[in-house]
Structure 1
């Protein structure tokens, strides 16, 4: 197994600190201590806490996107595509709860910061990738013609809401039980 880079070690330590102490309470020194990096290395790679937040956010969205792309290899139709979008989101959040909490709670802060343009571009690319994957099914008339933002809200909104509650410990239905229910509900709403 390859050794994690210093930059990756710092990001892993930052995520652990943010999860344990919260973003506001976490200091650069805490991240440095947890990662074992020198202060010079930390500043060399990131410069400040806000850049660590942004880099961690982008790394999280890239990890999710890679997870989705791997799952997409098994898509074999419009319904399978919708179920993969929903199921992959549930699976990734279930396997990465700390990262998912971080992504849910820090998006606005990162968007408002100096790396906001980078984040918005990264998110645009992710959604354009999904659009390209669904284009064939739209052209075949298998998916409802809706404005993109409405389509996305109907497709993934209920799942995102459920997962937000799951991350907060406010729901009790196990993920393996709700996964097919949410995937089927999304399909029923977006199919023609």
Structure 2
């Protein structure tokens, strides 16, 4: 396994600080101390705390998108693709709960930052890839007719809600134990 880059070390140190003391209470000095990076390295890679926040957010969403992309390369069929959207999301959240909590609570902050357009573009590409993977099945009439902008919410909505509650400690069920149920619910919600 390759050694993490200095940039990745800084991001993971930032995540640890954000998890322990909160995003607002974390300082650049805390992240620098935790990562062992020099001030020069911190400013070279990021420039300021808001850019660290945005970079951490974008790295997390990119990691999930990569997981999903690998899954699309391995599965075929409308049902498998829809279920993959749910199971990949759950797998990423369960493997990265602190990162998932961070993403859940900081989207608006990143959207309002100087890197907001980068986030919006990453989201456009992510959803375009999903719709591309599903386009042939849609053309075959394998999905219920519904507005395109509702489609992803119908698929991931229940999973996102349970994940949010699980991350907040408000569920009795373990998220991973609901993986197959939520994948089936997603498929049942959109199949023709």
The alpha carbon displacement at 1:176 in A equals 3.4
- C-alpha distance after superposition, 1:133-184 (max 9, x if no partner): 0001101110122112211111101100000001011111123321111111
**How many angstroms does 1:87 deviate by?**
0.7
Provide the secondary structure at the position in 1 that maps to 2:74: coil
Matches within 5 A, 1:11-90: 11-90=11-90
Q: Deviations over 1:37-87 (max 9, x none)?
A: 011110111000000011111111110111111222332211111111011
- 1:79-124 CA-to-partner distances (Å, cap 9, x unmatched) read 1111110111011100110111111110000000111001100111
CA RMSD of aligned residues (A): 0.9
- Structure 1 gaps of 5+ residues are none
Alpha-carbon distance in structure 2 between the residues aligned to 1:52 and 1:160: 25
Q: Which residue of 2 aligns with 1:113?
A: 113
When normalised by structure 1's length, the TM-score is 0.97
Matches within 5 A, 1:123-134: 123-134=123-134
Task: For 2:8 and 2:178, locate their aligned partners in 1 and report how far apart those are by CA, in whole Å.
Answer: 33
In structure 1, what is the Cα distance between the partners aligned to 2:116 and 2:73? 31
SS in 1 for 2:145: coil
User: Take 2:29 and 2:62, find their aligned partners in 1: how far apart are those partners?
Assistant: 26
Structure 2: distance between partners of 1:96 and 1:71: 18
* 1:2 aligned residue: 2
Q: Can you give the 5+ residue segments of structure 2 that lack an aligned partner in the other structure?
A: none
Match of 1:175 in 2: 175
Report the Cα distance in structure 2 between the residues aligned to 1:8 and 1:109, rounded to whole angstroms: 21
Q: Which residue is equivalent to 1:187?
A: 187
User: Runs ≥4 in structure 1, deviation > 4 angstroms?
Assistant: none
- Distance in 1 (alpha carbons) for counterparts of 2:2 and 2:176: 32
Distance 1:177 1:63 in 2: 22
Distance in 2, matches of 1:10 and 1:174, equals: 30
Partner of 1:158: 158
Would you say how many aligned residue pairs link Structure 1 and Structure 2?
A: 192
Matched with 1:96 is: 96
